[in-house]
Amino acid sequence: MPSAKPVSLRPRGRAGVRAHAYRPGHRWRNLFLEFIGYLTIDSKETGVSPLKLYGSQTRFLDELCEGLDRGVRHFVCLKARQLGISTVSLAIDLFWILVHDGLQGALITDTDENRVKFRILLERYLESLPLGMRSGIVRHNKSNLVLKNGSVLDYVVAGGRKTGGGLGRSRAWNFVHATECSGWGSEAGYASMIAALAQKHPDRLYIFESTARGYNLFWDIWQEAQKDTLTQKAFFIGWWSNENYAFKETSREYKHYWDGKPDDGEAALMKEVREQYGVTVKPEQLAWHRWMRTAKISADDLMAQEYPWTEEQAFVMTGKNFFPNSRLNEDIRWVHENKILFKAYAYHMGENFLATTVEGVQRSGLADLRVWEEPHPNGFYVMGVDPAYGRADYQDNHCVQIYRCYADCLVQVAEYASVNPETYQLAWVMAHLAGCYKNIWINIEVNGPGPAAMRELKHLRELMDQGQLQQAAADRKLENVLGNMRWYLYHRPDSLGAGYAYGWKTTQDNKLLILNQMRDAYALRALRIRSIPLLEEMQRVIQDGSLIEAEGTGHDDRVFATALANKAYLEWLRSSLIANGATYDNVTKQERVQSQNPNATLVDQLVQDFFSVKESERVQARLDAAWR
């Protein structure tokens, strides 16, 4: 908000707001508070009355001021319902264009009904201003508000996926107030609008405020703001910030709903609010919350969605999340808090497999490949491969997931995801990773481009067998790159014959099967995931009847690749590992002892090698029988 010139809001003919040097953040707060002292609203509780800020509105203003003091001009506010955030934001809209000359602004709503409602609210604000301030208005109609100082506020509807693609086209905005973005349908329209925003205007300001309502476009906006902390600020306003959401101690409701202590769930949420937001929820508020969730909103998920305690809880979708959302949030926090690191690599595709190189990178955003565990010579691995093709209307990633197998769990060790390579180049990635993680079983989706990747791997094997690439491969220690690969073989469970097929061909029925198997494994902690992008994809997977997929433009490539890896593990590896007692704890303990004193565990290692060989022989016998 830097503007070196003094700004006067003094109305004609009466004492008004004093002239101030208008500067960022808290230094303009008093001026704004004096300005809203003139405004009146139509309140559902008090009727037509002066605009007096709730605690939630004050908190919103504090967050805005803090960001502006740091030079931030782009704000994303995640909020609970009925906190008055839109109301105070509209006051900021009017204030901002009044004190800055020549701004080109927009008030963007999700629906035409809300556009009309917000225009009426602004009309009320304008009517409550002193005559001297209103004299600066040229016109105010359903399309825009035009001021004599050259500033304009357009009224724009974001619309749905089919109608919102033109949002922001032929516009050049340096001020935007976007409300209820979770109801916007068009990702293309949002991208168009963002491209139209000024990046250097000294008085630019962009406010996006919305309830969550699931993993939709606003989830993407929120995630982007959380990552870009330099130029954006993301903040959450919970139900507990509104002092009206409380019963007085003397009320009948308080005495009925407050029994003297919070239950276990409430205590845990109170602790989270205190630790994350520095707010202590009082008994009066808990009594109100209990009343609301028992007398008004009976569904716990719906209550969490409408009146969330935390930002993680806000994005819960009522009755639709396929994977347990609370567990996903726990795992995301665990990865962050324990600083689960990975080695990041980028592939540079050459003219052939051996000309392809892998380079370490320092930024996770540049990484095609994430590696949490280096290959272990005695490890058993599964690889799930989901080639990018055709299950969604949006650009998918080629995805490869690698897990180490134990008798009681799968542990994620590597992940590849990229939109860049051609299908035959995806085969090179698979060959490279299979050469690194030996003793590996591959399950690939054979719908769409899957067979093309398999043909390229077959071609590589033929070149190796004929010696054409043998020396070059030996120089790079890749001569046995395909030697330890085994393909997942599919057999219909209702078939009495012995027929098997390579890979996995998805149908609606078997998609339900493998995704439910993955969900069960995750819920039972038999699937240990380290990838934040995978966990975030899982958050967006919803179930609507028999349909399971990522909501909106969300991807499910990492999810489906993991489901394929889990399927190969269940059918081809788990039983033998259980028979050998190769649990995670047993194997980890043995490998730890070996690393500390290799000589002392020579006999153990010989035994382990023996069982590894026998295990490979048993699996190979099953594969041979299947092929026959």
* pLDDT confidence bin for 94, thresholds 50/70/90: very high
Asked if pLDDT for residue 609 goes beyond 60, the answer is no
**Structural domains present in the chain:** 6-237 (3.40.50.300), 244-317 (no CATH), 337-586 (3.30.420.240)
Distance CA 417, CA 397 (A): 6
Distance CA 276, CA 265 (A): 17
Written as six digits, the tokens of 326 are: 């609370």
Residue 49: per-residue pLDDT: 74
Residue 177: per-residue pLDDT: 96
Higher pLDDT, 72 or 607: 72
For the chain, the first-to-last Cα distance in angstroms comes to: 75
* pLDDT, tens digit, 9 for 90 and up, residues 272-289: 999 999 999 999 999 999
Percent of the chain residues topping a pLDDT of 70: 78
- Token pair 């002239």: residue: 19
Higher pLDDT, 394 or 443: 443
Task: Average the pLDDT over 192-217 and give the result.
Answer: 89
Asked if pLDDT for residue 503 goes beyond 80, the answer is no
Higher pLDDT, 610 or 60: 60
Burial (CB count within 10 angstroms: exposed 0-12, middle 13-18, buried 19+), residue 605: middle
Asked if pLDDT for residue 205 goes beyond 80, the answer is yes
Q: Among 95, 91, 137, 144, which Cα is nearest to 115's?
A: 144
Written as six digits, the tokens of 403 are: 């897990």
Asked if pLDDT for residue 19 goes beyond 50, the answer is no
Q: Return the sign of the alpha-carbon dihedral for residues 407, 561, 448, 512.
A: positive
Residue 9: per-residue pLDDT: 44
* pLDDT, tens digit, 9 for 90 and up, residues 138-170: 999 989 999 999 999 999 998 765 444 557 565
Higher pLDDT, 232 or 602: 232
* pLDDT confidence bin for 5, thresholds 50/70/90: very low
Burial (CB count within 10 angstroms: exposed 0-12, middle 13-18, buried 19+), residue 111: middle
Residue 329: per-residue pLDDT: 83
Residue 14: per-residue pLDDT: 33
Q: What is the mean pLDDT of the chain?
A: 81
Distance CA 410, CA 406 (A): 6
* pLDDT confidence bin for 29, thresholds 50/70/90: confident
Higher pLDDT, 352 or 40: 40
Written as six digits, the tokens of 1 are: 């908000």
Written as six digits, the tokens of 83 are: 């906190």
* pLDDT, tens digit, 9 for 90 and up, residues 392-411: 445 678 999 999 999 999 99
Asked if pLDDT for residue 520 goes beyond 80, the answer is yes
Residue 477: per-residue pLDDT: 52
Distance CA 558, CA 531 (A): 9
Higher pLDDT, 490 or 173: 173
Percent of the chain residues topping a pLDDT of 90: 43
> Which stretches within 478-548 are classed as H helix?
508-523, 532-540
Asked if pLDDT for residue 553 goes beyond 70, the answer is no
Residue 389: per-residue pLDDT: 63
Task: Average the pLDDT over 587-601 and give the result.
Answer: 75
Task: Average the pLDDT over 218-234 and give the result.
Answer: 91
* pLDDT confidence bin for 476, thresholds 50/70/90: low
Residue 430: per-residue pLDDT: 85
What does the chain come to in residues? 628
